[in-house]
């Protein structure tokens, strides 16, 4: 069933688990994610960035998601705009049936971020759609997001409280050390759980979101590299840290890089082992299966969202 994230997040905060928000670009990725959610009996958020919408086209995305909803009516599914760059993009998604949108004003100063977020909140709420905002800056590169490590800024807990009170946003993405892309950490992974806990103390009823939270699963990187890839030194957020975050008040954890690695690993393996293969079904089927395994693993073993329907 198609839902907003409100009820999902209420349950996640009451019961101490997180819901995976998985980026979608095509049919195979959507099928894999929703099949995994059905098997794990988990709620799920399907999210698309503005560049994914340009690639797949919004009507195609919506029709494919409608098909997934029809095939698995028992699974609560939210459709979410990831990193909406401006009011116009958020409005387009709201008008086309998205149940949730993120407006990313983190590139602006505090007051400009508030102004933009308020504008989106007013329009979204008038249409029954919920809004995620962001405060603080995550390092890394992914789609239209590109922030250098020197420009990354942790979220200030006092500002987070003021921001939520003044904008009326429904959930807040915070910066505690995660990073976009496949190269999140040069040394050991570190997340500022002290900042997370202080933010939760200040805004206990506001769902907290972690962006840039792919594990960059080593086995998938290894498969990619074994079959001709070149992804040296890729490093993400360990499962144990994400599991801890989900028990400390994070309600939504974003995953994109791990899906890309899953798809690429599956395709590369077929191309290397069967050079004569040219039927897309031949290489997209194992790629889809790897994505499903990855998503199910996160729901069952990391986020704690299995059996929460």
Active site residues per annotation = 82
Q: How far apart are CA 258 and CA 231, in angstroms?
A: 13
Q: How far apart are CA 274 and CA 87, in angstroms?
A: 47
Q: How far apart are CA 27 and CA 211, in angstroms?
A: 23
Chain-centre distance for alpha carbon 8: 15
User: Which H or E element spans position 209?
Assistant: strand 208-210
Phi and psi at 19, nearest 5°, equal -110, 130
Joined tokens for residue 164: 């939520």
Helices (H), the chain: 6-15, 27-40, 50-56, 58-71, 87-95, 110-126, 157-167, 193-202, 218-226, 239-247, 257-273, 280-297
DSSP 36: H
Angle, alpha carbons 221-266-67 (nearest 5°): 120
User: Is the distance from CB of 304 to CB of 246 less than 8 angstroms?
Assistant: yes
The set of residues, in sequence order, having a beta carbon less than 8 Å from that of 150 and lying 6+ positions away, is none
User: Is the distance from CB of 33 to CB of 24 less than 8 angstroms?
Assistant: yes
Joined tokens for residue 76: 């609560």
Q: How far apart are CA 224 and CA 214, in angstroms?
A: 16
């Amino acid at each position: 069933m198609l839902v907003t994230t409100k009820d999902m997040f209420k349950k996640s905060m009451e019961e101490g688990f997180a819901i995976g928000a998985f980026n979608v670009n095509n049919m195979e990725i959507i099928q894999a994610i929703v099949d995994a959610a059905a098997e794990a009996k988990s709620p799920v958020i399907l999210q698309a960035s503005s560049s994914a919408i340009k690639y797949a086209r919004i009507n195609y995305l919506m029709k494919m998601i409608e098909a997934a909803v029809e095939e698995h009516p028992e699974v609560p599914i939210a459709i979410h705009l990831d990193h909406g760059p401006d009011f116009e993009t958020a409005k387009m998604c709201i008008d086309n049936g998205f149940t949730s949108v993120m407006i990313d004003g983190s590139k602006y100063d505090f007051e400009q971020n508030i102004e933009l977020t308020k504008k989106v909140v007013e329009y979204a709420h008038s249409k029954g759609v919920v809004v995620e905002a962001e405060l603080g800056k995550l390092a890394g590169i992914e789609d239209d997001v590109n922030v250098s490590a020197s420009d990354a800024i942790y979220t200030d807990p006092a500002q987070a409280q003021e921001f939520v009170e003044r904008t009326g946003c429904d959930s807040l993405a915070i910066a505690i050390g995660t990073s976009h892309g496949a190269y999140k950490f040069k040394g050991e992974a570190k997340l500022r759980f002290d900042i997370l806990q202080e933010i939760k103390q200040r805004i206990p009823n506001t769902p907290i979101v972690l962006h840039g939270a792919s594990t960059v699963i080593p086995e998938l990187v290894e498969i990619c590299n074994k079959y001709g890839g070149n992804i040296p030194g890729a490093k993400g957020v360990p499962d144990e840290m994400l599991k801890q975050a989900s028990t400390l008040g994070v309600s939504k954890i974003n995953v994109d890089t791990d899906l890309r690695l899953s798809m690429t690993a599956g395709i590369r393996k077929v191309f290397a082992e069967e050079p004569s293969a040219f039927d897309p079904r031949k290489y997209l089927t194992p790629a889809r299966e790897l994505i499903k395994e990855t998503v199910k693993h996160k729901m069952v073993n990391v986020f704690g969202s299995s059996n929460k329907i």
